[in-house]
Structure 1
Amino acid sequence: MRSVNQQALARQLKVSRTTVSRSLSNHPAINADTRERVLAAAAASGYHRSPTRSIRRPRAATPLTVGVLIGAPLVAADRATFPQILQGIRHRAAIEHLAIDVLSLDPAELNNDTGRRQLFLQIRKSGWRGAILVYPFPHDVVKMIARKLTVVSVLNEYHDTPLDVIDTDHGGIRDLVSRLTALGHKRIGFVSWAYPTGGLWASRRFAAYAEALFQHGLPLDPRWTFNLHASQPRYTTTDALADAVATATRRDKVTAWVCAADHQAYQLIADLRTRGLRVPQDCSITGFDGNEPPPGLPALATLRVPNEELGASTVARLVSRLLQPRSLLRKILVETTVIPGATLAAPPA
C-alpha cells in the first residue's frame, strides 16, 4: 500500500498542497472548517506527518547509542501506548543515525539500592549518550540519571528535575466534558488508577476536567473523584474502584465519568457490567489515548494521541539537546483528536 502524502490529500480535498500543509501545522491563516476537513481526511487515510524538525547530525558523524527506559506498564500490551511510541522513536532514530537500546524494567525495583546499582551498571556498560524515559520513574532515580546523561521524558514531567518533555495536550479533556454537558449531564466524576510510581499526567487531565466543570457552572465534588485527593481513600484494585464508582452512580446520581486513560475506562466498563450498570445507558464514560476497544466492549469516546509522532519528536529533541546542551529547556505539546465513540448518551431520566 502506497503511503499517503500531502499532495494526495490536496487532490482528494480539491485544495492546494499549501492549504494542506498549513492546516496540518495549525497555521493561523487557515479557517477552522478547512483545517477540520484536512485533519479528518488525514486521519482517515492513515497519513503521518513528518517527524518534528531539529538540528540534524551529519551522516559522517560518530554513531551514538541512546537508551530507551520503559517503565513496565500495569496493563496488557494491547492496551498500552509504548509500542506506538517506540515505533516512532525507532523511525526517527534511523533518520538521525542513532542506535537504540531498549530497556524495560519495573520502576518499583528502583526503590532499593540493588535495583539502582543494576540500572547504572547497565547504563555504564551500554555507553549511552542520552536516554528517553517512557512512563514515570521515581523522581530521585530520574535526577541521578539526568546527572550522567542527556535525558528527554515522554508524557511525564518531573517537577524537581529540569528536563525536556514531549507531552500530549491534556487540555483536550475540556472537549469531552463539553460534549457531556451538551447531552445534559450535570454530575460528572473523574476516575484514575492508583499507581505505585505516580506521574503528573493524571493530575494534568484532572485539572482540565475541573476547568471545564467551572466553565459550564457544574459542581466539582471530591466524592466523585477517585485516586486524586491525598486525603481520600486510595482504591488500589480495579474491583474496589468499580465498587466506589457504582455506589456514586446509584447513590449520588453521577451520570458520567471521565477516566484518565483508555485502559482504565475499558476496565471500568467491564467491571460496571458485572455490577448491573450499562454504558452508556446508565452512565457515560470517556477515556484518553485512542486505543482500540477490547473484544466485546464499545468503542470509547476518547482523545486519540499521535503516539508515533510523540516518539519521533522525542528523538528530535534529544538530538537537539545533545548538539546544543546549553539551549533553553522545552516542553512540547502534541495535539489530540476527539474520537466520538459509542460510550456517550443523554443521562437516564
Structure 2
Amino acid sequence: MTNGNQPGRDRRRVTITAIAREAGVSVSTVSKVLNGRADVAEGTRSRVEELLDRHAYPRTRRRGSDPAGLIDIVFDELDSPWAVEIIRGAEEVAHASGVGTVVSAIHARSEPADEPARQWLDNLERRRSEGVILVLDELTPDQQARLSALEVPYVVIDPRGEPDPEVPSIGAANWAGGLAATQHLIDLGHRRIAIISGPSGMLCSRARLDGYRGALESAGLPADPALVRYGDFHHESGYVQAGLLLELPDPPTAVFAGSDQQAYGACEAARERGLRIPQDLSIVGFDDLSVSRWFSPPLTTVRQPLAEMGSLAARTLFRLARGETLETRRVELATELVLRESTAPPARRDTP
C-alpha cells in the first residue's frame, strides 16, 4: 500500500491547477517555470519548483518512445450532427495510425461554466494525451497556459473569432459558400432573398453573411436589413426566424440558412403557413449533413467539408507531435454548392 505523500500517487493525481493554487500563483506562472522562462521572480520560482519536486510532477512529456496512443477531441456541446462528422473524420485518421480518440464536451452553457472546462483539462493532464482537437467557442488564456505547460499540441477547428496566428486552425471557405448560395438564388430569379445567419459574434457567421451581401451587391440588389436574421445554428432558431420573415408585409421568396439545421426549421415554419417548398419558397442550407439528401424535399446546401476538417486536424496533430514545422498555421478548405430539390424559380416574378 502506498502512502498519500508518495510520488507515485501524486504523479497520478496532482495537476498544474492544484500546484498553482498551493503556490498562490496563476497557472500561467507555473507554466513559465516548467518551460524555464526567465520572467518569474526568484522567490516565486523557488516556491513553485519546491512544489513540483514534492509532488514529483513530470517536467517533460515523453514523446516518441512512450506515446499515450490517444488524442482528445473537445467540443462545447455534442448536440449536433455537425460534431459527429468532425469526429468521424478525425477518428478515421487516428484509427489508421493505431491511435485511439477520447471525445469530451465541456457543456459551455452549464453552470458553473468553468467546472467542466477544468475537468477535461485535469483528465487530459492525467492521460498525457498526444494532442487535442478543439472545437470550442473560446480557449481562455489559462487553458492555453495549461496546454503549453503540458507541451500538448492542439489544433482549433472553426475558431469563433480571428484565429491566433500562432495556433494551428482549420476552417472552411465560408465567404465563398455564402456567395455561391446567394448567387444560385439570384440566378433562379429571386430578388427578395433572406438570410438566417448564425451567431453574430462568430467568424464563420460573419463570413457567410458577407458572402450573401457580396452576391446581392454584385447583382445590383439592395440588402434589406429586414431580411437579415440571426440564429444559433440549431433547428429552433431557423423555425423562429423564418416565421418572422414570412410574416413580413413583403416576405422573401427565398431563404439562405446559415446551417442545415436552421434550414430544416425554416422548412417547418413555411409548411405551417401552407407554403410549398420550393414552389412558394426556396431554401438553401449550409453544411450538407448526411440527412439533407434524404430530407423532403432534398435540401440544396453548401457542402462544408466537416469530416475532412476533422481528418486534417488529426493529421496536423500527428505532424506537431513529431516536431514537424507546419507550412501554414491557418487552413481553409473549399466549400461547394450542392444542388437538390429545395430551390426553384420564384412563383411570382420579383422586381429589384
After TM superposition, the score normalised by the length of structure 2 is 0.69
Matched, 1:159 2:180: no
- On the 8 A contact 1:157/1:200 being kept in 2, the answer is yes
Helix, strand or coil at the partner of 2:67: coil
Return the match for 1:289 from 287, 290, 311.
287
Of 253-262 and 62-71, more deviation after overlay is shown by: 62-71
1:242 corresponds in structure 2 to 242
- On the 8 A contact 1:66/1:101 being kept in 2, the answer is yes
CA distance in 2, matches of 1:93, 1:310: 13
1:320 corresponds in structure 2 to 319
1:19 corresponds in structure 2 to none
1:21 corresponds in structure 2 to none
Matched, 1:224 2:227: yes
Give the C-alpha shift of residue 254 in structure 1.
Answer: 1.9
| AA in 1 matched with 2:254 | A
Distance 1:129 1:296, change over 3 A: closer
1:128 corresponds in structure 2 to 129
1:8 corresponds in structure 2 to none
1:265 corresponds in structure 2 to 263
Give the C-alpha shift of residue 99 in structure 1.
Answer: 3.0
CA distance in 1, matches of 2:65, 2:92: 19
Distance 1:308 1:172, change over 3 A: same
CA distance in 2, matches of 1:82, 1:122: 21
- Sequence identity, in percent? 23
Q: How big is each residue's C-alpha offset from its partner over 1:132-180, in whole Å with a ceiling of 9 and x where there is no partner?
A: 0135346567645654532211233542644211112211222222221
Choose 1 or 2 for highest CA Rg. Answer: 2
Distance 1:307 1:114, change over 3 A: closer
Q: How big is each residue's C-alpha offset from its partner over 1:310-347, in whole Å with a ceiling of 9 and x where there is no partner?
A: 21111111222333476565221222332111111112
Return the match for 2:202 from 196, 199, 204.
199
Distance 1:214 1:240, change over 3 A: same
Higher RCO, 1 or 2 (CA under 8 Å, sep at least 6)?
Answer: 1
Distance 1:99 1:73, change over 3 A: closer
Helix, strand or coil at the partner of 2:119: helix
- On the 8 A contact 2:199/2:205 being kept in 1, the answer is no
Distance 1:219 1:199, change over 3 A: same
- Map of 1:180-191 to 2, 5 A cutoff? 180-191=185-196
| AA in 1 matched with 2:104 | L
| AA in 1 matched with 2:188 | L
2:333 corresponds in structure 1 to 334
Aligned length: 278
| AA in 2 matched with 1:336 | T
Of 143-152 and 125-134, more deviation after overlay is shown by: 143-152
Q: Cα RMSD between the aligned structures?
A: 3.1
- On the 8 A contact 2:238/2:261 being kept in 1, the answer is no
CA distance in 2, matches of 1:141, 1:219: 45
Helix, strand or coil at the partner of 2:343: coil
| AA in 2 matched with 1:344 | T
CA distance in 2, matches of 1:72, 1:105: 7
Q: How big is each residue's C-alpha offset from its partner over 1:58-95, in whole Å with a ceiling of 9 and x where there is no partner?
A: 997734432110222454xxxx1222221221121133
Q: How big is each residue's C-alpha offset from its partner over 1:206-236, in whole Å with a ceiling of 9 and x where there is no partner?
A: 11111111111111122111128xxxxxx98
CA distance in 2, matches of 1:264, 1:160: 25
Helix, strand or coil at the partner of 2:206: helix
- On the 8 A contact 2:263/2:284 being kept in 1, the answer is yes
Give the C-alpha shift of residue 191 in structure 1.
Answer: 0.2
CA distance in 1, matches of 2:263, 2:228: 14
CA distance in 2, matches of 1:339, 1:104: 31
CA distance in 2, matches of 1:142, 1:236: 32
CA distance in 2, matches of 1:98, 1:303: 32
Segments ≥4 residues shifted beyond 6 Å: 58-61
Distance 1:238 1:218, change over 3 A: closer
| AA in 2 matched with 1:102 | V
Structure 2 unaligned spans of 5+: 1-62
Matched, 1:344 2:343: yes
- On the 8 A contact 2:243/2:266 being kept in 1, the answer is no
CA distance in 2, matches of 1:59, 1:253: 61
1:175 corresponds in structure 2 to 180
